[in-house]
Amino acid sequence: MSKNLYNFENRTAVITGGAQGFGLDIAKRFLNSGAKVIIWDIDPKMIEKAIKDLNNPNLSSNIVDVSNYKEVESCTSNIAKKSNIDILINNAGITGPTAPLWEYDIEMWKKVVDINLMGTFNCCKTIVPNMIKNNYGRIINVASVAGKDGNANASAYSVGKAGIIGLTKSLGKELANKNIAVNAVTPAGAKTRILDQMTKEHVQRMLSKVPRGRFLEVEEFTSLVCWLSSEENTFSTAAVFDISGGRSTY
C-alpha cells in the first residue's frame, strides 16, 4: 500500500494513546511528513518502546491519564510555553468489559466513559485556546461505528463514542469562524491490541457486520486522519467521517 506524505513541517501534533495501535501509526506517518509529535499515553513501557522503535528526534512524550483534567492541563501548559499545538488526535480509549447493561459494573462504566469521552473533552478544553490564539488547528476525535449503531454488550463504549460524535459537532460549530477544523472518524474493528480486550464471540460478531469481510488495516485509518489533519482540509468541520468497510452507510 502506498503511503502518501503530507506537508506537516513546522506543525506540532499531540496524539493521545500514541504509544500503540492507531496512535503509533499516525505518529509514524506524521513524523515522516515533517511534524513534531508528542505522544501522550498512560503506559510508560509502551512509550519507551515507541520512542525506541520510531527513533526520531522530533518525537517526544508525556505519561498522561487523559481522564485526569489536571494532568492534561499541566502537560498542555508546558507544551504551549515552547510551541504552538497545531494538531490534536484524540485517540486514547478503552473498550471495557462486554456485558449486558443491567449486569455492567458501575465503576467500569464510569471508567470507560471517563477515558473515552471525558478524556476527549479534557484535551479539547485545554488545547483549543492555544489553537484560537494562533488561528490554526486540526482536531480529529476517534469515535467508532459503535457510537453510531450501538454494540450489544458494549453499552459504555457505545455511549462514550456517541458522546464524542456529539462533542465534535458542537465544538466544530463553535470554531467554524476560525481556521480550526474539528472532525470525528468512525472506524469499524481494526487489527489493533484493542481486539485483545474483547471475547472471541464479540470480535466475530463485529466482523460479521462488515460488508468488506475483513478488519480495517491501521494504515488505511492513518491515511484518512492525515488528510483531516492537513492544511488541505479547509472546509470540512463538525463532520463524521466513516471508515467502516460499508457497515455504516450514514
Number of other residues whose CB lies within 10 A of the CB of residue 57: 7
Backbone angles phi, psi at 17, to 5 degrees: 60, 35
The cell for 198 is 474483547
Q: Which are the contacts of 110, defined by CB distance < 8 A and separation ≥ 6?
A: none
Domain boundaries, position 151:
12-243
Over range 101-117, report the average pLDDT: 98
Is 249 a member of any domain? Answer: no
* pLDDT cut 90: percent of the chain above it: 86
The cell for 8 is 506537516
Q: Which are the contacts of 60, defined by CB distance < 8 A and separation ≥ 6?
A: 36, 37, 38, 39
Residue 144 pLDDT: 96
Residue 193 pLDDT: 67
Residue 189 in contact with residue 207, Cβ under 8 Å? yes
CA 181 to chain centre: 15
Write 96-105 long-range contacts (CB < 8 A, 24+).
Answer: 96/154, 96/156, 96/157, 96/197, 98/153, 98/154, 98/198, 98/199, 98/202, 99/153, 100/153, 101/155, 104/155, 104/156
pLDDT in tens, 196-228: 767 788 778 878 888 998 989 999 999 999 999
Residue 199 pLDDT: 77
Say which CATH number the domain at 48 has: 3.40.50.720
Over range 159-183, report the average pLDDT: 98
Residues 195 and 215: their CA atoms lie apart, in Å, by: 11
Q: Which are the contacts of 192, defined by CB distance < 8 A and separation ≥ 6?
A: 20, 21, 22, 218
Is 233 a member of any domain? Answer: yes
Q: Exposed, middle or buried: residue 165 (CB in 10 Å: 0-12, 13-18, 19+)? A: middle
Is 108 a member of any domain? Answer: yes
Give the active site residues. Answer: 157
Is 102 a member of any domain? Answer: yes
pLDDT band with cut points at 50, 70 and 90 for residue 4: confident
Beta strands in 17-135 (DSSP E): 36-41, 59-63, 87-90
Is 157 a member of any domain? Answer: yes
Number of domains in the chain: 1
Residue 197 pLDDT: 67
pLDDT band with cut points at 50, 70 and 90 for residue 229: very high
Average pLDDT of the chain?
Answer: 95
Strands laid side by side in the 180-187 sheet: 59-63, 36-41, 12-16, 87-90, 137-142, 180-187, 239-243
Is 234 a member of any domain? Answer: yes
Is 138 a member of any domain? Answer: yes
Is 5 a member of any domain? Answer: no
Residue 2 pLDDT: 54
- More confident of the two residues 190 and 58: 58
